[in-house]
Structure 1
Amino acid sequence: MSVIDVRGVSKRYRDQLALSDFSLSVENGDVVALLGPNGAGKTTFVKCMLDLISADSGEITIFGKSSKDPRSRASLVYLPEKFNFYDYFTVKETLKFFAEFHGVEKSQVNGRIDEALKKLSIDKFEKKKLKELSKGQMQRVGLCIAVVANKELIILDEPFSGLDPIGIKDVKDICLELSQQGKTILINSHILSEVEKFATKVIILNNGQVKAQGPLNEVRGDISLEERFYDLVKNDSGSEHA
């Protein structure tokens, strides 16, 4: 059974086609990079998968359950591009809240939080209020939630946003570690050079349509992922970037 199975999903916003007959299959342990320029349809797909919006046609299943079924989301954690929460909460209070939200056993909460804080190099900020943190530090707090939740499917929307080179390496290391633990990761990102270092599969979207999909090495061929992406998007006859 696929972790994510998408068949013929289409979505239109008035006169704009956001997704056109989009299909994909994500297997257990895959690290899938969803790539595309702004307006390509990446965020629309993630919102459809999380049932935040409804597709016009097609079907999405997660762990064998329809994305319309709340139970399909019981084994996933989603980190939006701009993580935010009550600014008067401390870092540790925030992580405790989300640990409870994701059903982490009380006996494991503190241990998981301490481990996550150290992995993302923000253990010294655990007593700071969120309003005192920089954008990059807030992003690390969000990533801590993904580690603490310990779900089978992790969806990361622009996880490198606001991070310095050390933070980017921390994220890559965590993604690799989670993948080795058998977790499945779906990453929506613009940073192709970083994604290329650890993704196992790649999907390139433009104007709501799949331009390339498959194992990383097959998609990029004998050139870099960045060059392949540029060729596919720049030479797309229907692209606004042409």
Structure 2
Amino acid sequence: MSRLDGKVALVTGGSRGIGEAVVRRFAELGARVAFSYRAQADKAQALIRDLEGKGAVVKAVAADVTDAAAVAALIGEVTQAFGHIDILVNNAGTFGARAIGEVDYAFYAEQFNVNVWGTLQVTQAALAAFPDSGGRIVNLSSQRAFSPKDRTGVYAASKAAVSTLTQALAIELGPRGITVNAVAPAVTRTDMTAAIPAEKRALLAASTPLRRLGEPDDIAAAIAFLASDDARWITGRTLLADGGITGA
């Protein structure tokens, strides 16, 4: 895979789970990495200490991606520290599962505000920091956008919206040399999915052709590919990183 030496990356929701794996992968590939987090400042600082101890250049900023002022401050801090942004990974998200009859407006609004509006708002704010030479944007969709079962209809719809938004942004930003893609993971071993009962996790693993659940680094590898020069001719696409479970 192409190195990311000299590149500046911003990863939202980068203190844990898939986001943390992306921050680590980008740092290993030579990028200077900024990441946002909404809570758990202790985890963010522990990640900073670990990576700086390995010689990486990393910055953490507390920010809620649904808050316009916080997003503006986030982009301001990143550009003040690093000058510009080459790679944006819209990883911050939320997950909820409810039967359709149990969905209220507050539940619906949380799924769409974080997953869709958060992605769009951060992208809008970051675009002014992209250089004339272009860049990479990678959004987080979900395998559930293609298989909205297990009471995940509203969440799945929000992630389907992310995939559609990805296509629209790719068309609009292509003339600027900015590629826009999405990665759609299936269930991945993170603290967000730790509440899934063990028997359900075992069933999901058994239903996957590769016979296991995804790991954060599996998804980080796909994101790193789309953020690299190796993916320069790919845009507007959602890459299923699901171990083959979709359609199996």
The TM-score range, normalised by the shorter chain, is 0.3 to 0.5
TM-score (norm 1): 0.36
**Higher-RCO chain (CA-CA 8 Å, sequence separation at least 6):** 1
Question: Between Structure 1 and Structure 2, which shows a larger proportion of helix residues?
Answer: 2
Point out the structure with max Rg over C-alpha.
Answer: 1
TM-score (norm 2): 0.35
Question: Between Structure 1 and Structure 2, which shows a larger proportion of strand residues?
Answer: 1
